[in-house]
């Protein structure tokens, strides 16, 4: 049975860890809306074709990508997954030269699932922490 938890686990295993771009077409609805991943404030990625350039950029930059789902909370057709992400920065597709450095950060995604597909997703990942680990952003001054 395709529960929201099953779908989100498949998404991270097949798409992100496995790098299977074909799984995007299978697991994401054609009219899906994805929030929180585009660089522009309030911008959204729409459908598999709108999501794939983002997927290619991340997968092109990060190798040995592992996403450990620490916990899942489901209510009806909505599912929240708390994730721990580990990878190595080996490609240039995030806008800077490959550093070879490992990255280790956390995040959460909340998705709505309908008919076995993701129809909407809200993402909140610690990308600032990732950029700090890559040396692209310096740690902010700590208030005293």
Run of H or E residues at 61: helix 47-61
In a domain, 13, yes or no: yes
Convert the pLDDT of each residue in 63-76 to its tens digit: 999 999 999 999 99
The Cα–Cα gap between 137 and 144 comes to 21
pLDDT digit string, tens, across residues 21-67: 999 999 999 999 999 987 666 689 999 999 999 999 999 999 999 99
Q: Which domain CATH number covers 126? A: 3.10.450.50
Classify residue 144: in a domain, yes or no. no
Q: Is residue 141 part of a domain?
A: no
> Cα separation of 72 and 30, whole Å?
25
Tell me whether residue 143 is in a domain.
no
* Number of domains comprising the chain: 1
In a domain, 128, yes or no: yes
Confidence class of residue 112 from pLDDT cuts 50, 70 and 90? Answer: very high
**Which residues span the domain enclosing 46?**
4-134
């Amino acid at each position: 049975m395709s529960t929201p938890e099953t779908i989100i686990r498949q998404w991270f295993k097949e798409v992100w860890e496995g790098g299977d771009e074909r799984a995007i077409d299978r697991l994401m609805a054609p009219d899906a809306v994805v929030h929180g991943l585009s660089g522009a404030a309030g911008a959204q990625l729409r459908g598999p074709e709108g999501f794939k350039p983002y997927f290619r950029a991340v997968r092109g930059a990060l190798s040995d990508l592992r996403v450990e789902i620490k916990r899942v909370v489901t209510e009806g057709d909505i599912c929240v997954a708390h994730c721990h992400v580990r990878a190595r920065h080996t490609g240039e597709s995030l806008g800077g030269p490959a550093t070879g450095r490992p990255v280790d950060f956390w995040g959460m995604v909340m998705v709505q699932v309908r008919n076995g597909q993701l129809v909407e997703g809200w993402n909140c990942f610690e990308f600032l922490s990732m950029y700090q680990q890559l040396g692209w952003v310096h740690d902010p001054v700590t208030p005293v």
